[in-house]
Amino acid sequence: MKSQGPSPDNASSLRSNIPTLIAVIIIIAVVVGLALAAKPGSQSSSQSGAIRVVAAENFWGSIAAQLGGDRVKVTNIINNPDTDPHSYEPTAADSRTVADARYVIINGIGYDPWMDKLLSASKTSAKTLKVGDLVGIAPGGNPHQWYSPESVRAVIAHITESYKVLRPADAAYFDQQRTAYENNGLKQYNALISEIKSKYAGVSVGASESIFTPLAKSLGLNLITPESFLTAMSEGTDPTAADKAATDQQITGKQIKVYVYNSQNSSPDVTRQVDEAKTAGIPVVTITETPVPANSSFQDWQVDQLRRLRDNLAKATGR
């Protein structure tokens, strides 16, 4: 005999109980999930979560983020292009951020001494990279090592190895990230460096401060501005009268082909020299101390500046 199915009253009762049944199922699923997570050998959220990385400056933070991919979460203390990293005053929020970090990146070389204070106050056990120590430059040396391609390569290698120590299970992933970044992310950056060096090595140039010194050296350019003038401008002290006169003469006498100007660190002396260069028909190439716009990747920021440098060198030399 053909079955008759539930009566209308029974069907109505079943429908009314469906929300309760669904809620029970959800509760059971949650309880089972929590039990599985608590089993010995299973990964907890703290084990599987992203490595918390803090970078004092966003140019190093950009590199750290790209090398870490989705296995890291990077927080930069200095993000605003209008903020002077030399004189930054850290906040209580910065202290909490550092205290929660597993990996901290500091430029060092006297550039961000406030970061040492944050580390000391937070009593963090985080693994720490101090770029100056890595590349062998002590306080008093040139701190602008993100403008040194050689130092950038050393930092990339060190960050990758640090990530592998912090998350050994993801070692292959971090190696892949490094290879992709070096071969693809930095492709234009590396190509422009090679092009400028091959075409314009030995060309005399001037600069407003020492931020350009590491890059000029790597490019093979002849930076003839007195080193003491460059250092004084970088540190915010007054250059000597002799240095001012020598630098002015290099510009007005057209001894340089290009003048490189850090627009984030100006002074009346530098402003005057920029005007002198323009009057003399010497191309002025503007660079910045930190990425502009603030959300630019390290390589996009540097590639834009290198292109303008290359184009102005071509214009000045006819090559």
On the question of a common fold for 47-185 and 189-317, the answer reads: yes
Of the candidates 239, 257, 266, 254, the one whose C-alpha atom is nearest the C-alpha of residue 311 is 257
CA angle 226, 302, 205 (to 5 degrees): 25
Nearest-Å Rg of the Cα atoms of the chain is 28
- Reading phi first (left if > 0) and then psi (alpha if -120 to 50, else beta), residue 260 is in beta
Please name the CATH architecture into which domain 189-317 falls.
Answer: 3-Layer(aba) Sandwich (3.40)
- Report, as an integer, the average pLDDT of 26-46: 35
Output the CA–CA distances (angstroms, integers) from residue 139 to 14, 110, 127, 144, in the order listed.
Answer: 77, 5, 21, 12
Q: What are phi and psi of 34, to 5 degrees?
A: -65, -35
Q: What is the pLDDT of residues 88-109, one digit of tens each?
A: 999 999 999 999 999 999 999 9
Q: Are 290 and 77 in contact (CB under 8 A)?
A: no
- Joined together, the tokens standing for residue 292 give 């502009």
Is 47-185 a CATH 3.90.230.10 domain?
no
User: Could you state, in order of their start, the residue ranges of all structural domains in the chain?
Assistant: 47-185, 189-317
- Joined together, the tokens standing for residue 282 give 């010497």
Q: Are 192 and 310 in contact (CB under 8 A)?
A: yes
Q: What is the pLDDT of residues 217-256, one digit of tens each?
A: 999 999 999 999 999 999 999 999 999 999 999 999 999 9
